[in-house]
Structure 1
Amino acid sequence: MNPEKLAHENHKLEKRLCREVGRAIVDFNMIEAGDRVMVCVSGGKDSYGLLDILMKLQARAPIDFEIIAVNLDQKQPGFPDHILPEYLGRLGVKHHIETQDTYSIVKKVIPEGKTMCSLCSRLRRGILYRVAKELGATKIALGHHRDDMLQTLFLNMFFGGKLKGMPAKLVSDNGEFMVIRPLAYVPEKDLIRWAEVRQFPIIPCTLCGSQENLQRKQVGNLLRDWDKKFPGRLENMLTALQNVVPSHLMDRKLFPFESIEVTGEADEDGDKAFDEEPLPEPVPPTTDDETGNEVPARAVIPIAAH
């Protein structure tokens, strides 16, 4: 690809990322005037991308909000602790490096070969909540993207027996902070490309990132395979998370199945179990004005735009 065309493609990618992050922020009212947003930066492509796009949006937003980047140095052996401070310093963004040896705790408690993610995330979460309080943060921004959210849905269905995903916005478990995921609409493949464009100084994780047989990785591979074979499927799955019909599931806490009665009147939302569920008609691929590639028409993915 010649340099001029490459620059054009990179510009379209940047526009798309800003648009999708901005849309998520508006849809879920993630950031408000006067907010101090603590962006958790791990050294991976997702958190780098999150910080990068939020800083771009901050520069053009109609409201004023503050960004402070926070990294938790967990004292993993060989961790290059100079990379993030130097990178954040070059950006000119306010930042804080918190050093806590959670690595030794995880390695001591979790037997060799067992999944470390659960304990590691609990320890990390508690520390980050404390840091957020000390810094006066009003929002905590995490770098989970669309694919992470879909993986969580399937992990909970396959292994947890729950129809539970990863929300774009929630109150922290200690009740003190609002946690937001501005990358909720962003596919991982766009973040991979953006990391290459921006040449982020990626720092590999030697804990969960080094475990190859994690269930999350298996589900991630499944979703990537679906995305290749059936373009548009992941977009429709994300849309499904925003169109829940409790009366057509089986959770008695969400819908009073035991007390429903026959009314003798027609109900458009009534029992259609014996009908074929209408699905969108296949639509010929169209050219996306942002990518220039052929993609399924977005008419079958009805996400409201702002």
Structure 2
Amino acid sequence: MKKILGPMRRAIQDFNLIEDGDKIGVGVSGGKDSMVLLYALKLYQRFSPEKFQLEAFTVDLGFKGFNTKAIEKYCKSIDVPFNIKETNIKDIVFDIRKEKNPCSLCANMRRGAIHNALKEKGFNKLALGHHSDDAIDTLFLSLLYEGRLNTLQPLTYLDRKKIYVIRPLLYTSEQDIKNAIEKNNIPIVNNPCPVDKKTKREDMNKLVQNIYNEVPGAKNRILTAMKNKEGLKLWF
């Protein structure tokens, strides 16, 4: 876990993501990113200079076959309290509204559900498992589909909910997360959503991978550019 904990610790320190007395809820979908984040934060909690509370929060969208028991079992094995928020998001998005592009509405409803779950228990921070590859994919999605330069932020304050969203893994690569899953026998719960792996984000990931193949060192330079405010030169 050194390749996870080292970059995560730097991100926490660089962006002041964790403070004394924080009550941090980890958004756990059962996928590799959130499961590694949960385990990493549990390990970090043992030696962190900041004392904080840690619990897992899972939103059940209502899909059949979503194995929340496996997530709960893993949480118990690493001594992290587990919370589940039952919803009918699947019914609303797929059965009632029959959305042709369901991801946006689903994501908004899922965010609302987990924010409410945290507020109900008095938590002030939500930790999400986005990594450096997610940040680059988001940058290109924003540029090509929205006409703006925007990416995932390490720290965001949601004024309406009075909750901070933190992303401690933004210095961490997806490959290191995959390696951590294998080396530490961390379970993964399959996503039963019918459009999983069939989104614009997946298409963008393939495009970015092609760029990496064509331009050696491109990934590191993109990550450097995202942190280089002084190097940002636009028309206005």
Structure-2-length-normalised TM-score: 0.93
How far 1:155 sits from its partner (Å)?
0.3
The one-letter amino acid paired with 2:179 is: R
Deviation by residue 1:132-164 (Cα, 9 ceiling, x = unmatched):
111111211011111111111100110111111
Bigger mean CA deviation after superposition, 57-66 or 149-158: 57-66
Deviation by residue 1:253-297 (Cα, 9 ceiling, x = unmatched):
xxxxxxxxxxxxxxxxxxxxxxxxxxxxxxxxxxxxxxxxxxxxx
Give runs of aligned pairs for residues 7-18 of structure 1, distance below 5 A. Answer: 14-18=1-5
Aligned residue for 1:81?
68
Is residue 155 of structure 1 aligned with residue 141 of structure 2? yes
Cα distance in 2 between the residues matched to 1:40 and 1:119: 18
Match of 1:35 among 19, 22, 29: 22
Aligned residue for 1:189?
175
Maintained 8 Å contact 2:115/2:161: no
Aligned CA RMSD, in angstroms, stands at 1.8
How far 1:55 sits from its partner (Å)?
1.0
Flag structure 1 segments of 5+ consecutive residues without an equivalent. Answer: 1-13, 252-306
Would the alpha carbon gap of residues 163 and 232 (structure 1) be closer, same or farther in structure 2, given more than 3 Å must change? Answer: same
How far 1:206 sits from its partner (Å)?
2.5
Would the alpha carbon gap of residues 152 and 28 (structure 1) be closer, same or farther in structure 2, given more than 3 Å must change? Answer: same
The one-letter amino acid paired with 2:145 is: F
Match of 2:150 among 158, 161, 164: 164
Would the alpha carbon gap of residues 208 and 179 (structure 1) be closer, same or farther in structure 2, given more than 3 Å must change? Answer: farther
Deviation by residue 1:152-209 (Cα, 9 ceiling, x = unmatched):
1100110111111111111126251111000011111111111112222211222275
- Larger radius of gyration, structure 1 or 2? 1
Give the number of equivalent residue pairs.
236
Is residue 25 of structure 1 aligned with residue 12 of structure 2? yes
How far 1:54 sits from its partner (Å)?
0.9
Cα distance in 2 between the residues matched to 1:247 and 1:203: 40
Maintained 8 Å contact 1:117/1:208: no
Flag structure 2 segments of 5+ consecutive residues without an equivalent. Answer: none
Give runs of aligned pairs for residues 43-58 of structure 1, distance below 5 A. Answer: 43-58=30-45
Aligned residue for 1:298?
none
Identity of aligned residues (%): 34
Cα distance in 2 between the residues matched to 1:207 and 1:118: 14
Give runs of aligned pairs for residues 1-306 of structure 1, distance below 5 A. Answer: 14-109=1-96, 111=98, 114-172=100-158, 174-207=160-193, 210-212=196-198, 214-245=199-230, 248-251=233-236
Structure-1-length-normalised TM-score: 0.73
